Structure 1
């Protein structure tokens, strides 16, 4: 992790706006959220300033969102934070930053979806709309996202060993069985589809028991939809994954669903470790990541029996 040394304050945000986007500088500023890569500062009621504060990769991810997300957003059925302005590095702040639309709602790791049917349909509708063939030149996924699951074997082994060593995994054989089945599934043979690439509960917003928005498109990429189809295992209430697949179009074939279970295991291990194994001090690391990750792993292990 590389923490930005600049102290982030409302005054800094206003100064940056005054330097580069003065027409927005008089809006009230208040802290919105501190995430893993970025801090979000509310700018009035409808905008936010997004400033990277950790991980050097965040700079390129912000520029990627600015380049691609405005064209994708109008076709999505849930609100997403659409970049409006780009701020360039300066003496005042040495990294790029963006002004985006503000998406209201509570992160699903803090306020889980409770309306199974509505949430499953909303998530399926969102991913159906997003998963369209990506154009030539669309970004490739980082850390293996959207590519062959087998490329993440080392990541899986390390995550499983760490979680097991911390006493956080009970049914080790079943977890390995889900992973092995997923890796053995036939590879994706279709076109590279647009993917969100990073759909833990912290990046999906809820209101009234269902989903009302999706945030953080820094891992936007093109590839195998199984990467995103892992999300229902952690996001939905018990018993709602089948409802999701009934609503998702075109229906995922058996191989894609098997690969999705592998991605879901990988994400669950990561969530468990961040939530419960001493990583909470890192930017974005939160105890709220543990419960949905454990729930996903419990559901996935049941599919191996």
Structure 2
């Protein structure tokens, strides 16, 4: 049985991956397969030899992500200042596994770790350059992502109650309500990755060299890619990131509120099943509340 983060996720043993490869892509069937310990919340990742990775949705709401990435990654490749995965093959449902899955190139590097950044200001500049490049993608037809902050209001208030034992509810509510009142999105969209977070960023040395997980790529509020300011960067580097992107006060307030909303969803859901993500959510809540 593989580790579970969702009550209704699939069990995905290594043997299943090996059998799917043998059936559908025998050219890779002799390569060793091992499950990666950090496989995210929606997809399980399996290292295939030294240069490949198998990506398998683990929960029903992620079932369309493989086809989405297969559509957009080839179009994105070459337009960003970092390495992105290439989809080499898309597998089909078989052996009891119900969805499509993919074989992708392995992107080298290590994930940045909160509070262990040796060159946070340089990383902030790299991240700003990445966000600018994503926004400027010369592509058409992106799937709309998210909507007004008000769409999240009910969920945010439920989540505040759910974690009332861990947070200053009055302070957090005030941050959220201030953004609702002063910083609503005007509807102008850009391209967004939608999950620029520590687990999807890859460093070589102290510099940003890779970005993975394009399941959420689409068009929407540009603040959807600013959450990294709070989930990774310390305050001085956060200020550099903001300056590099020339973010005005209204946009920054909205970005902070979106980061808060995401953290408030993550903390109660992953508190017992994903300690790393829950700890990052606590960090974000503290940072946006100061």
TM class by smaller structure: 0.7 to 0.9
2:102 is aligned to: 98
Q: Unpaired runs of 5+ in structure 2?
A: 1-5
Corresponding residue SS for 2:251: helix
In the other structure, the counterpart of 1:39 is: 44
Structure 1 residue 238 displacement after superposition: 3.2
Residue 127 of structure 1 aligns with which residue? 131
CA contact (8 A) 1:47 1:99 kept: yes
Q: Which residues in structure 2 correspond to 1:65-80 (within 5 Å)?
A: 65-80=69-84
Residues 80, 274 of structure 1: CA spacing in aligned structure 2 closer, same or farther, 3 A cutoff? Answer: farther
Aligned runs of 1:1-305 on 2, under 5 Å?
Answer: 1=6, 2-5=8-11, 7-9=12-14, 11-33=15-37, 34-53=39-58, 55-91=59-95, 93-108=97-112, 112-132=116-136, 135-141=139-145, 145=146, 147-164=147-164, 167-170=165-168, 172-189=169-186, 191-248=188-245, 251-274=246-269, 276=271, 278=272, 280=273, 286-302=274-290
Contact 1:114 1:210 (8 Å CA) reproduced: no
- 3-state DSSP class of the match of 2:10? coil
Q: Residues 301 and 127 (structure 1 numbering): CA distance in 2 closer, same or farther, change over 3 Å? A: same
Deviation at 1:235, TM superposition (A): 1.1
TM-score by length of 2: 0.87
Runs of 5+ unmatched residues, structure 1: 281-285
Q: Distance in 1 between matches of 2:9 and 2:98?
A: 12
Change (3 A) 1:207 1:268: farther
Find the aligned partners of 2:258 and 2:188 in 1 and give their Cα distance. 19
Deviations 1:248-298 (A, max 9, x none): 2xx22322111101101112223433453x3x1xxxxx2112333333222
- State the SS of the aligned residue for 2:78: helix
CA RMSD of aligned residues (A): 2.4
User: Would you say the 8 A contact 1:134–1:222 is kept in 2?
Assistant: no
- Taking a change above 3 Å as real, the CA distance of residues 192 and 78 of structure 1, as seen in their structure-2 partners, is same
Assess, with a 3 A threshold, how the Cα gap between structure 1 residues 210 and 78 changes in structure 2: closer, same or farther: same
In structure 1, distance between residues paired with 2:138 and 2:148: 17
What is the CA-CA distance between 1:75 and the residue it aligns to? 1.2
2:202/2:210 contact within 8 Å kept: yes
Aligned residue pairs total 283
TM-score, normalising length: structure 1: 0.83
Aligned to 1:283: none
CA distance in 2, matches of 1:213, 1:169: 34
How far did residue 60 of structure 1 move? 0.6
Kindly state the Cα deviation for residue 188 of structure 1 after the two structures are TM-superposed: 3.7
Deviation at 1:129, TM superposition (A): 0.6
Cα distance, 1:230–1:160 mapped onto 2, change above 3 Å: same
Whole-Å separation in 1 of the counterparts to 2:208 and 2:125:
9
2:3 maps to none
1:213 and 1:227 map into 2 onto residues whose CA distance is 19
Alignment partners' CA distance in 2, 1:4 and 1:70: 28
